Amino acid sequence: MESEISPVFVALPIPKQGLLAYMPPQGMDQLEPGMRVLVPVGLRRRMIGVVWDPPEKRDPQDLDIELKEVSSVLDEAPIISREYRRFLQAVSWYYFYPVGMTLEEALPNLLLSSRSSSIEKILNTRKKTRVRFQIPPSAPCRPKSLTQEQISVLSVLKKRISGNLFSPVVLHGVTGSGKTEVYIRAAESALALGKTALILVPEIALASQLVAWFYNAFGDLVGLWHSKITGPQKLKTWQDIRDGKIRIIVGVRSAIFAPLDNIGLIVVDEEHDDSFKQDVRLRYSARDLALLLGKLQNATVVLGSATPSLTTYEKVIKGEYELLTMTRRVHDTPLPKVELIDLRTKRKKKEIPRLPWWMSEALYKAIDETLHSNEQLLLFLNRRGFATFVFCSDCGHAFRCPHCEITLTLHKSFGPKGNKELLVCHSCGFNLPALPVCPNCGGQAISSKGIGTERVLAELVQVFPNIRAERFDRDTMGSKKKLINTLEGFRKGDIDALVGTQMITKGHDFPNLSLVGVIWGDQSLHYPSFNASEKTFQLLTQVAGRAGRRGKRGRVIIQSFCPEHYSIVYACEHDYESFLREERNKRVGHFYPPFGHLINLIFSGKLEEHVKKISFEAQQIAMRILPKIQKRYTKAVEILGPSPGIRPKVKDLFVWNLLLKSQSRKAVRSLAEGLLNKLSTVPKRGVRIEIDCDPTGLG
């Protein structure tokens, strides 16, 4: 066996762990890691992959197989730097996800799709249009002077950025304390040092608005990165970043993969937000990856939030992260007055006027007063549609999704024109026209239960016929234009009230809002997850923080079926510390995060029998190898389940979970690794196995 010519190792976007080895092409010894190559895969396929750093140890039996030859080399020089490869390698390792597929997740699609060859060619065929980002005209101006708190926070951040060391910082600042301005000026100082900056926010709509502020300050040095930017446009941004033309990126979760070099500052704004966790394929947390990247790049990482997650705050308590606080709102707007209303209270028989059940008398009065004084209000309910449960009152037939088995939600004004009456599955999107006839018995007594934003808006208008109200959710704010227009209209005072979902709570600035009504404050509390209380506290704090205008105290009404729950009580009192104390006490005994580490194995397939069988088999294997693991690690590892998923069926696939938990991350990872190893040899029978490290919404 001649082994003078050493093979190259290629990362390919196939669901196989590790790299594939190839012979370099004839007379091509300048092949370096980071260059793209075209290689034969299987019997008749050619794929684009990236030459990777050779593994330290190679499986000896690998050497037996005859290696195929690289078909062609696509780049003259590496397009993936050593630092970036190290980052992706670490991501791949942590999430048990193949390197090649991690690469696919990170790179612009065009770079690995087989049609493309040279980057220049792709970009040259595209007509050049200059990107501009515009701030909506009625948005408040950037402040000329800073508050005392902003000044002191900035001075620390500047020190950390110029220190050239990994510096994790938690910026605990109440809503409206002026964090955005701090981010802009911190980015400025990173730039002044020749470094770059990465700003992450939870939603595309927020990124699109925030980028305009940065654009005004830094011009073409700023780029926008999110999943709706695709094709040549994404590639252009990617290339401009690598060329150093773009040095600040504003984006969402996926922007963590923007190929910035020499990063001085990474901001994760609203770090507690679930949107930073991807829940398909590579299930990464952009917040956790920001910390990893910060470590590799010796950057300052700012985790900003009015309600830092327990996971983040635990690091503050341990002294691993630095804590900076901003307790005062700009213009000294006081925190809103929050009233808690018990929805279980019996209603008066003769209410005048007759109110819908979700509108308590207190809320009614508050809305009335707000409208009378020409002020604005916002109603929050985290559910789209008109009714969540539609059934036939003759035979009891309930309308369910044939693919997910959950009940269909009635939408009375669906579609871009808002003129379609549909039953929609909120899990997979399946829908059918809402006809007034029962498909089971032919009867016409179709009824519905459960509220959504559509119904709240409709009944709000019934009670207040002159109100100018609009809905603000994914259904109505599908396009960027519509969203901007509505926000504009509300800021200008053309709209009195907004009825919205989660969308309404994130970041948007409402300068004249005097009343916030939370329709169902304990809704998120019923989600079967170890962090349901935390999510509830965060959501309520965030939505309440919208209320209040310059110098004038806002008012918040939270309606709830369990107003005595600590997450709701402390949210009303703006008491983060007390909530934290109680929630930590709840979790510490069960070793839930941050006191323990979770890895979830997700089994899914078309035949429930097979899914169930494989997940039980996995549990058996885990039990068998557990003693070996416990010899190496003193901390216990628990195997929980298998059990049906929170959504037991999605798009015709049955889902089961096997949850691994331990106080020691190493121990739980070690068990997961061993288990996956053993599972790789058992026949899958159409069952897919996915790994979710640090799952949210489980337990």
Partner DNA sequence: AGCACGCCGACT
Partner DNA sequence: GTCGGCGTGCTC
Q: Binding to DNA by residue 22, rule CB under 7 A?
A: yes
Q: Which residues are annotated as a binding site for Zn(2+)?
A: 392, 395, 401, 404, 425, 428, 438, 441
Chosen residue from 21, 205, 498, 689 binding DNA by CB under 7 A: 21
> In angstroms, what CA-CA distances link 126 with 112, 121, 231, 246, 285?
18, 9, 10, 19, 34
Query: Which of Zn ion, DNA, none does residue 21 bind (CB under 5 to 8 Å by kind)?
Result: DNA
> For the chain, how many helices (H) and strands (E)?
17, 27
Query: Residues 662, 637: contact at Cβ < 8 Å?
Result: yes
Could you tell me the smallest distance in angstroms from the CB atom of residue 281 to DNA? 8
Query: Residues 151, 185: contact at Cβ < 8 Å?
Result: no
Q: How many CB atoms lie within 10 A of CB 348?
A: 9
Query: Residues 493, 456: contact at Cβ < 8 Å?
Result: no
Binding mask 591-610 for DNA (x = CB under 7 A): ---------------x---x
Query: Residues 381, 499: contact at Cβ < 8 Å?
Result: yes
Q: List binders of DNA among 489-508 (CB under 7 A).
A: none
Query: Which of Zn ion, DNA, none does residue 353 bind (CB under 5 to 8 Å by kind)?
Result: none
Query: Which of DNA, Zn ion, none does residue 443 bind (CB under 5 to 8 Å by kind)?
Result: Zn ion
Q: Binding to DNA by residue 526, rule CB under 7 A?
A: no
Could you tell me the smallest distance in angstroms from the CB atom of residue 399 to Zn ion? 10
> In angstroms, how far is CA 592 from the centroid of its own chain?
21
Query: Which of Zn ion, DNA, none does residue 194 bind (CB under 5 to 8 Å by kind)?
Result: none
The tokens for 327 are: 């307790």
Which amino acid belongs to residue 155? Answer: S
Query: Residues 64, 74: contact at Cβ < 8 Å?
Result: no
Could you tell me the smallest distance in angstroms from the CB atom of residue 611 to DNA? 11
Query: Which of Zn ion, DNA, none does residue 586 bind (CB under 5 to 8 Å by kind)?
Result: none
Nearest to 158 by CA among 311, 265, 252, 304: 265
Query: Residues 657, 599: contact at Cβ < 8 Å?
Result: no
Nearer to Zn ion, 402 or 493 (CB): 402
Could you tell me the smallest distance in angstroms from the CB atom of residue 381 to Zn ion? 22
Alpha helices in 565-607 (DSSP H): 566-572, 576-588
Nearer to Zn ion, 403 or 688 (CB): 403
Nearer to Zn ion, 392 or 622 (CB): 392
Q: Binding to DNA by residue 146, rule CB under 7 A?
A: no
Could you tell me the smallest distance in angstroms from the CB atom of residue 622 to Zn ion? 31
Half-sphere exposure of 298 (CA within 13 A, CB side): 7
Nearer to DNA, 22 or 380 (CB): 22
Nearer to Zn ion, 165 or 398 (CB): 398
Task: Return the SS3 of 33.
Answer: coil
Query: Residues 191, 218: contact at Cβ < 8 Å?
Result: yes
Nearest to 503 by CA among 524, 478, 522, 525: 478
**DSSP string across 60-72:** GGGGGSPPPBP-E
Nearer to DNA, 403 or 635 (CB): 403
Nearer to Zn ion, 449 or 550 (CB): 449
Q: List binders of DNA among 458-487 (CB under 7 A).
A: none
Nearer to DNA, 45 or 492 (CB): 45
Q: How many CB atoms lie within 10 A of CB 280?
A: 6
Alpha helices in 528-565 (DSSP H): 532-544
Query: Which of Zn ion, DNA, none does residue 122 bind (CB under 5 to 8 Å by kind)?
Result: none
- Site residues, Zn ion (CB under 5 A): 392, 394-395, 397, 401, 403-404, 425, 427-428, 430, 438, 440-441, 443
Chosen residue from 20, 35, 171, 653 binding DNA by CB under 7 A: 20
Query: Which of Zn ion, DNA, none does residue 394 bind (CB under 5 to 8 Å by kind)?
Result: Zn ion
Q: How far apart are CA 158 and CA 156, in angstroms?
A: 5
Nearer to DNA, 54 or 511 (CB): 54
The tokens for 188 are: 């400025």
Could you tell me the smallest distance in angstroms from the CB atom of residue 400 to Zn ion? 9
The tokens for 29 are: 């010894």
Could you tell me the smallest distance in angstroms from the CB atom of residue 224 to DNA? 28
Beta bridge partner(s), residue 643: 657
Q: List binders of DNA among 635-694 (CB under 7 A).
A: 683-686
Q: Which residues are annotated as a binding site?
A: 392, 395, 401, 404, 425, 428, 438, 441
Could you tell me the smallest distance in angstroms from the CB atom of residue 89 to DNA? 17
Q: Binding to DNA by residue 16, rule CB under 7 A?
A: yes
Query: Which of DNA, Zn ion, none does residue 14 bind (CB under 5 to 8 Å by kind)?
Result: DNA
Nearest to 222 by CA among 134, 121, 107: 134
> In angstroms, how far is CA 608 from the centroid of its own chain?
29
Strand ordering across the sheet containing 36-41: 20-22, 8-11, 45-52, 36-41, 72-73
**Residue 1 burial class via C-beta count within 10 angstroms: exposed 0-12, middle 13-18, buried 19 and up:** exposed
Could you tell me the smallest distance in angstroms from the CB atom of residue 124 to DNA? 26
Binding mask 36-75 for DNA (x = CB under 7 A): ---xxxxxxx----------------x--x-xx-------
Query: Which of DNA, Zn ion, none does residue 22 bind (CB under 5 to 8 Å by kind)?
Result: DNA
Nearer to DNA, 67 or 90 (CB): 67
Alpha helices in 392-431 (DSSP H): none
Query: Which of Zn ion, DNA, none does residue 143 bind (CB under 5 to 8 Å by kind)?
Result: none
Query: Residues 245, 232: contact at Cβ < 8 Å?
Result: no
Nearer to DNA, 50 or 423 (CB): 50
Nearest to 152 by CA among 140, 164, 169: 169
Give the number of residues in contact with DNA, rule: CB under 7 A.
23
The tokens for 112 are: 């690995």
Chosen residue from 14, 432, 467, 640 binding DNA by CB under 7 A: 14
The tokens for 173 are: 């600042």
Could you tell me the smallest distance in angstroms from the CB atom of residue 24 to DNA? 11
Could you tell me the smallest distance in angstroms from the CB atom of residue 20 to DNA? 4
Query: Which of DNA, Zn ion, none does residue 397 bind (CB under 5 to 8 Å by kind)?
Result: Zn ion
3-state DSSP: the chain helix, strand, coil percent, rounded to 5? 35, 25, 40
Query: Residues 365, 464: contact at Cβ < 8 Å?
Result: no
Which amino acid belongs to residue 691? Answer: I
Nearest to 327 by CA among 145, 576, 141: 576
Could you tell me the smallest distance in angstroms from the CB atom of residue 274 to DNA? 24
Beta bridge partner(s), residue 410: 387, 423
Could you tell me the smallest distance in angstroms from the CB atom of residue 406 to Zn ion? 7
Query: Which of Zn ion, DNA, none does residue 427 bind (CB under 5 to 8 Å by kind)?
Result: Zn ion
Could you tell me the smallest distance in angstroms from the CB atom of residue 438 to Zn ion? 3
Which range binds DNA by CB under 7 A, 11-19, 82-90, 502-510, 611-619? Answer: 11-19
Handedness of CA 39, 43, 45, 50 (dihedral sign): negative
Nearer to DNA, 6 or 393 (CB): 6
Nearer to DNA, 4 or 76 (CB): 4
Nearer to Zn ion, 407 or 531 (CB): 407
Q: Binding to DNA by residue 15, rule CB under 7 A?
A: yes
- Please report, as ranges, the residues that interact with DNA according to CB under 7 A: 14-16, 20-22, 39-45, 62, 65, 67-68, 606, 610, 683-686
